[in-house]
Amino acid sequence: MRVRYAGDDPISVHRSWVPTDLAPDLSSHDLVNEQLCVVLESVYGLVMKSVSEQLEASLAGVEEARRLAVRPSSPVMILSDTIRDVSGQAFKYSRIVFRGDRIKLDFTYER
């Protein structure tokens, strides 16, 4: 799990899941300074073919509110995604909770 900040303010909580059998020593990599998808491709050969994303409005739960420094039930945006390789196998799932009062999302995809 990672919390991202804008200045001193937390703006999002990121959680990602990768099957252990596909990236057995993933935790030994510097995932603070390197993007997870870059490590998955360059080290484990997990090449992204497709991404499925869902964006929804929601209310912060107690744990999310604490990490985002907001009150429980504050508005949040939740972005969930599943990344699949060329065979269609899912190899990464992520859930990002953004503060509803501090975020603007802009999507551009190029590969």
Indicate if the pLDDT at residue 108 is higher than 90: no
- Mean predicted lDDT score pLDDT of the chain: 93
Indicate if the pLDDT at residue 62 is higher than 80: yes
Of the pLDDT bands very low, low, confident and very high (cuts 50, 70, 90), residue 104 is: confident
SS (H, E, C) the chain: CEEEEECCEEEEEEEEECCCCCCCCHHHCCCCCCCHHHHHHHHHCCCCCEEEEEEEEEECCHHHHHHHCCCCCCEEEEEEEEEECCCCCEEEEEEEEEECCCCCCCCCCCC
Please state the separation of Cα 74 from the chain's center in Å. Answer: 20
pLDDT single digits (tens) 30-45: 888 888 999 999 999 9
User: What residue ranges define each of the domains in the chain, with the CATH number in brackets?
Assistant: 2-99 (3.40.1410.10)
The pLDDT value recorded for residue 1 is: 86
Indicate if the pLDDT at residue 111 is higher than 80: no
